[in-house]
Amino acid sequence: MAVVAYIEINDGIIKKGSLEAASFAAKLAQEKGIKAVAVVVGKGGDTSILGKYGIAEALHYNVEDTQINSLSVAQILHAEAQSLGATDTVFSGSWIAKAAAASLAVHAQMGIVTEVTELPKNGTILKKAFSNKAFVKVELQNPKNCYVISANSFGLHENQVNISVQEKNYSTSSVLSHVSFNKDTSKVSLTDAELVVSAGRGLKAPENWHLVEELAKVLGAGTACSKPVSDAGWRPHHEHVGQTGISISPNLYIAIGISGAIQHLAGVSSSKNIVAINSDPEAPFFKAADYGIVGDAFDILPKLTEALRKAKA
């Protein structure tokens, strides 16, 4: 028997979300007294890093990028779960992982719980719900389950072990394949970012966005925006965070010139620390923020960026 973790390689890198899944699987396997096995899908990647998080065995499928999708991943996981006698399968919160988990749960007749934040205890498990506004305790009624980990919730837990990596071949029978990818690799991915700098209509015009980007560059942060900003075409839609956009859980979220409507807060409320910068002292965001700065962003941002630049020098 084993706890299986799906590890996703993206652009030759194992992302933090997958390392969280590995940490979760290793700890769950330790509690159950069985082994944790990582099923790694994608080209390249330093698979040995998984040993740092308690994974002693990894199966690496060198699948071409165009053949990686939720169906092919679910097919690989299904075969390995059956072979290993998997009691549980753990996924990160990426879009491929979420879809693959759902497909696997159906085909392998496993239970599935998404937005998981903690290890199961006494037959129940805690998950986020209502756009991260609440937690729900779910009763596990299936002896075998798929867990999708909420980003930046479980964290990375180091437990160095020797890891054995087995390279495996994959011949797809999936009817779905991608012709090509057109990715923006110049910025930090929002779903993986531990630090995020975001702005709204308080920036007044798209040409002022360099203030946000300069601060983000100094911090090594991802950049995001509010829905009105993306709707106006100031920023691309993939940067929109909120109830109808991306939900994120960074360690630090800096909101600049964003009023703090409930729809926006739904996507960022699980951030570990929130800093709001707004010229309106009555802005709703200040009620949700851990720290607030009342003032003009055009005055504050250059000073903040310069102070951080000096501190890092």
**Segment 211-247, tens digit of pLDDT:** 999 999 999 999 999 999 999 999 999 899 998 888 8
Query: What distances in angstroms separate CA 15 from CA 69, 104, 105, 131, 160, one per listed residue?
Result: 16, 21, 23, 23, 18
One-letter amino acid for residue 4 of the chain: V
Cβ burial 197-218 (10 Å sphere, 16+ → b, else e): bbbbebbeeeebbebbebbbbb
Classify strands 291-294 and 273-278 as parallel, antiparallel or unpaired: parallel
Beta bridge partners of 167: 60
Q: Pinpoint the alpha helices (H) of the chain.
A: 16-32, 70-84, 95-107, 210-219, 227-231, 262-268, 285-288, 297-312
Residue 62 pLDDT > 70, yes or no? yes
- Asked if residue 226 lies in contact with residue 258, where contact means CB atoms within 8 angstroms, the answer is yes
Average pLDDT of 198-212?
96
Which tens digit of pLDDT belongs to each residue from 117-144?
A: 999 999 999 998 887 778 999 999 999 9
pLDDT band at 206 (very low <50, low <70, confident <90, very high): very high
Whether the model clears a pTM of 0.95, i.e. scores above it, the answer is: no
* Neighbour-count burial of 281, counting CB atoms closer than 10 A to its CB (0-12 exposed, 13-18 middle, 19+ buried): exposed
Domains of the chain: 2-168 (3.40.50.620), 195-312 (3.40.50.1220)
| Tokens coding 237 | 């839609």
- Asked if residue 251 lies in contact with residue 272, where contact means CB atoms within 8 angstroms, the answer is yes
Alpha-carbon distance of 45 to 56, in angstroms, equals: 17
Cβ burial 157-176 (10 Å sphere, 16+ → b, else e): eeeeeebebeebebebeeee
- Asked if residue 79 lies in contact with residue 99, where contact means CB atoms within 8 angstroms, the answer is no
Cα atoms found within 13 Å of the Cα of residue 312, Cβ hemisphere only: 11
